[in-house]
Structure 1
Amino acid sequence: MPGVAGPTSADRYPLLLAGLTAAVATVGATIFAISPLLSDIAAAFGIAPARAGRLIGVYSLSMAIVAPTVGLLARRLPRARVIVAGLLLFALVWLLAGWTRRFDALLALTLLAGAATGAVIPATYAYAGDLSSFAHRGQVMGRIVSGWSIAILLVVPLMAIASQTIGWQAAFGALAAAALLTAALLAFAPRPGPGAASSAAAELPVGPSLRRVASHRATLVVLAVNGIDMGAFYAVYAFLGSEMRRANDWGAAPAGMAIAAYGVGLLIVTLNGRLIDRFGKTRSAVASLAALGLVLSGLPWLVGTPALLVPGLIAWGCVQGVFFTAITSLATEQIPELRGVVTAMLSGATYFGVTLFSPPAVLLFERFGFPAVGAFAGLASLAGAALLAWPGARVAAVEGR
């Protein structure tokens, strides 16, 4: 039936699925790529690396603000159109970045890049929901989420090599070219027609849409738990690289290779999302959060022992991959007619969690060291597991659909 996504809808549109995965890999690479390129960017503009680091904050803030806004205002538009428009803006921004000679101009362009990412990522997740029944949502979502693994394992290292050999401008120029190719693929890839949920979303004004989400307990719990998880994730990730280099007297390359182990674990899980479908999305999310409580609290104690650290990072990637695939799948089913709005708010919740967790994480790191940050993140993950498992949350009600 046209416009109705059955269990195998995604398999009937392989080019569309490949394009969605490539979209995540392309725009998702930015947040990981900026950090290793900061020294090159700072040198190019004759500024301190600390000032160049503002690029990360500007990018994240823009994405956090724009994602929910675009989710609300663009809910009447076809998701493919939103994604393609976001990719075109993303490409234009980074092409212009290569020509700018002022750091303030680069900051403004990075703000626009964050806005483009804020449009692309939530619409991509919502599209995964459109292309699958909930029973098979984890499998389809996992394939698309694997784009983050591709970004970590392939795109970011290639950009680092390009920056070192031909300059950071060329590295981002190549990323812009990838965005243009992905936009072309998605523009011409066969796709299903709009479903009933999309038509219902188009009829809802902004006010009622917001009230519907704000009054839906299960959705609020999903958003809160996602914010907790991502806040805990970035609390540890923010200090991991520097701590590995300090403890092992490493340069940037060995530290980068070690962090790539996280991407390996993430890829292993996201390509096997069908196992999450079989076990149940809610149970998978709760179990992975409980496991993250142990992993995050233990990782800081392993930074000085590479033989244990690398398996620990792979384990981190695995359990984080389970959680992210499961929670995103759950988010897409809570209010199907507002799927794009909910996934947009999910992205906003990510960076709200990062903003909320950063100050206490910095304070703990300065006063008590990295293990205290790990303990804080681990306890937060356990609290998230308890909240999600709470019967009153009603998140698991969608499992029976």
Structure 2
Amino acid sequence: MPLPLYLLAMAVFAMGTSEFMLAGLLPDIASDLDVTVGTAGALTSAFALGMVVGAPLVAALARNWPRRSSLLGFILAFAAAHAVGALTTSFPVLFATRVVAALANAGFLAVALTTAAMLVSPGRKGRALAVLLSGTTVATVAGVPGGSVLGTVLGWRAAFWAVAALCLPAALGILKAIPAGPVEEEATGGPALRAELARLTRPPLMLVMLLGALVNAATFGSFTFLAPVVTGTAGLGELWISVVLVLFGAGSFAGVTVAGRLSDQRPGLVLAVGGPLLLIGWPALAVLADEPLALLVLVFVQGALSFALGSTLITRVLYEAAGAPTMAGSYATAALNVGAAAGPLIAAATLSTPAGNLGPLWASGFLVAITLLIAFPLRTVVTAGRSAEALQ
């Protein structure tokens, strides 16, 4: 894999740390800004909604911008939003900074996904996506727990400052290693924006986007509210939140790494094996969450299965959107973040039910069940081999 791909992954690591770290900071943010934990959870949805709207909008606006300048501008805007967030004492202002950061992240990821696909041969998109998403999974292994520990020791604002600082070396790497010119298709007269947007009318593309969103909703729904499960249901201390997040992140890294080797050629295997196991895992975690050992094991397993299945479906989005070279990344980003927006909202609604802290885990199981009910009757469409367009 080319070096620029790993530098993009470094930037995704900084952004992924911010996106995921709120799972360990929500109780402190809620207490400091005088809101409920459920309300604080809306910060995750605000970030995801900003990415859903921002991905196609910013990708369309940036079609003719120089690639390096676009990526650099997005990551610097992301850092600035975190600096403002670290300074504010107002929840609405913090909410707004999350939306701004999300727009910057959306633009970055949309351009980065398209760039990553162009840096490798057409048949290796899954591998390239796995490298890029490794930035996110490494964030859950190291960055997110580190942010949680930093938040526990120095307060949640310190974690926001740390994310802003992480963006700077990533920005330097982009400045030094990413080509300055526009993407290749733009330079040689690629398809018009209208033609790229028309790809969204294709049922196979809409199907894999929907399935990717559902799986990601299940993932984010439970991940966002793991902290109350750890300290409440399992009865563990606050520092165990970081341990659980590390395990989830380690599992997600393993899952996306394995899936990266299978999603190009054997997506059906990932769906057929990973889907049912993921469905069983969420209710099992809800039932066994009061047993610390079972909690630790199942969190690792669910992280692996969630990211294996989710990354495979997002790879299918890139293949199905092969005729939209500058917008494909935004479609994948939107699919990821529709789920990331909806999942925490659905999960938060279950916190006031008799299920309490375990409600999000049951909700995740329900979302995966819907995914499989849709996917299996249409599995030949979901797992179809690379199209002729994807090979061109």
**TM tier relative to shorter chain:** 0.7 to 0.9
**Is the contact between residue 129 and residue 329 of structure 1 (CA under 8 Å) also seen in structure 2?**
no
Residues 1:396 and 2:360 are matched in the alignment: no
Please list the CA deviations of residues 97-146 of structure 1 after superposition, one character each: whole Å capped at 9, or x if unmatched.
33445443333222211111111222222222112224322222212211
**Is the contact between residue 267 and residue 383 of structure 2 (CA under 8 Å) also seen in structure 1?**
no
**Is the contact between residue 221 and residue 347 of structure 2 (CA under 8 Å) also seen in structure 1?**
yes
In 2, Cα distance between equivalents of 1:388 and 1:188:
45
CA shift for structure 1 position 261: 1.3
**Is the contact between residue 26 and residue 175 of structure 1 (CA under 8 Å) also seen in structure 2?**
yes
Residues 1:316 and 2:306 are matched in the alignment: no
Query: Could you tell me which amino acid in structure 2 is paired with residue 175 of structure 1?
Result: V
Please list the CA deviations of residues 281-330 of structure 1 after superposition, one character each: whole Å capped at 9, or x if unmatched.
34434542233222223221221223233222222222223223322322
Residues 1:208 and 2:195 are matched in the alignment: yes
> In the alignment, which residue of structure 2 is the partner of 1:381?
371
Residues 1:33 and 2:21 are matched in the alignment: yes
When residues 357 and 252 of structure 1 are mapped into structure 2, their CA distance, relative to the original with a 3 A threshold, is: same
Greater shift after overlay, 293-302 or 159-168?
159-168
In 1, Cα distance between equivalents of 2:20 and 2:141:
11
- Say how many residue pairs are matched: 386
Q: Report % sequence identity.
A: 20
In 2, Cα distance between equivalents of 1:325 and 1:311:
21
In 1, Cα distance between equivalents of 2:43 and 2:168:
23
In 2, Cα distance between equivalents of 1:30 and 1:124:
17
Query: Could you tell me which amino acid in structure 2 is paired with residue 308 of structure 1?
Result: A
Of 326, 333, 338, 2:319 maps to 333
**Is the contact between residue 197 and residue 338 of structure 1 (CA under 8 Å) also seen in structure 2?**
no
**Is the contact between residue 159 and residue 171 of structure 1 (CA under 8 Å) also seen in structure 2?**
yes
> In the alignment, which residue of structure 2 is the partner of 1:241?
227
When residues 276 and 160 of structure 1 are mapped into structure 2, their CA distance, relative to the original with a 3 A threshold, is: same
In 1, Cα distance between equivalents of 2:347 and 2:24:
22
CA shift for structure 1 position 335: 3.0
CA shift for structure 1 position 151: 1.0
Q: Specify the SS of the correspondent of 2:275.
A: helix
Of 19, 36, 51, 1:63 maps to 51
Residues 1:257 and 2:243 are matched in the alignment: yes
Query: Could you tell me which amino acid in structure 2 is paired with residue 113 of structure 1?
Result: A
Q: Which runs of 5+ in 2 are unaligned?
A: none
In 1, Cα distance between equivalents of 2:216 and 2:32:
32
Query: Could you tell me which amino acid in structure 2 is paired with residue 396 of structure 1?
Result: G
- RMSD value over aligned CA atoms? 3.1
When residues 252 and 165 of structure 1 are mapped into structure 2, their CA distance, relative to the original with a 3 A threshold, is: closer
CA shift for structure 1 position 88: 0.7
Please list the CA deviations of residues 232-280 of structure 1 after superposition, one character each: whole Å capped at 9, or x if unmatched.
2233334443234333212222233123212111112334455315752
Of 336, 339, 362, 1:353 maps to 339
Q: How does 1:154-233 map to 2 (within 5 A)?
A: 154-189=142-177, 191=179, 197-199=185-187, 203-205=191-193, 207-210=194-197, 212-233=198-219
CA shift for structure 1 position 389: 0.6
Of 284, 292, 296, 1:306 maps to 292
Residues 1:124 and 2:93 are matched in the alignment: no
TM-score (norm. length: structure 2): 0.85
> In the alignment, which residue of structure 2 is the partner of 1:150?
138
Query: Could you tell me which amino acid in structure 1 is paired with residue 387 of structure 2?
Result: V
When residues 253 and 387 of structure 1 are mapped into structure 2, their CA distance, relative to the original with a 3 A threshold, is: farther
